[in-house]
Amino acid sequence: MNTQTVKLASVLLQYPTTALFDGLDTLDAFAANTGPKPARESFERFLGWLRTTPPHEVGQHYVQTFDLRRRCSLYLTYYRYGDTRKRGMAMVLIKTAYRDAGFVPSDDELPDYLPMVLDFAALSPRGERLLYGHRTDLELLRRALIKAKSPYADVVAAVIADLPGLGRRELEQVRLAWESGPPREDVGLEPFAPPNYLTGYGSRPQP
């Protein structure tokens, strides 16, 4: 897997700060070295949107998309398990993968936060395997972003471009999950979801 692709995707999927816009020239140069070609093209489209959209509008779009749309969650285990006890166990497995690889995750986020998983994938083959294991969840996120007409669909598409394609069984899983949406139970996540768990990978203003 191209480590620059997953690292750039991690940066772009976090809340858009002033530093992000100040560093667009650097990000453009970084994107030129990502791969494969569909990933580079996806990044070029997204970075072009960042350049032509006022920063406050990008920030508003980010909040409206990722914080207020249930199907556009940046938390990978949510697509498969929703707010159920099984999701808590899935996050324990991710935390174990981090620990075994010597990766120290941020305490500000849940273990399945996509930008953090992408950072892990840039550093360790275990991170790549995590992305492979959540290939169907990434596809669900991509489809939801396309339906929401969000330019962020290009960033997720760039990640997917560097992953194996979906087989027939996985496509059926995507179809069923798309029709039903994430499951609900609303219990059993207390140890994993602090009250501010949607505040981003680091600080960002509240909507």
Residue 26 domain-assigned (yes or no): yes
Domain that holds residue 106: 3-180
Cα distance between residue 207 and residue 205, in whole Å: 6
Residue 188 domain-assigned (yes or no): no
Residue 198 domain-assigned (yes or no): no
Residue 86 domain-assigned (yes or no): yes
Q: What is the pLDDT along the chain (207 residues), one digit of tens a residue?
A: 899 999 999 999 999 999 999 999 999 999 999 999 999 999 999 999 999 999 999 999 999 999 988 889 999 999 988 888 889 899 999 999 999 999 988 888 999 999 999 999 999 999 999 999 999 999 999 999 999 999 999 999 999 999 989 888 888 988 888 888 777 754 544 444 333 333 345 445 444
| Cα separation values, 79 from 19, 28, 36, 99, 206, Å | 31, 31, 26, 24, 24
Residue 156 domain-assigned (yes or no): yes
User: pTM of the prediction?
Assistant: 0.86
Residue 206 domain-assigned (yes or no): no
- Number of structural domains the chain divides into: 1
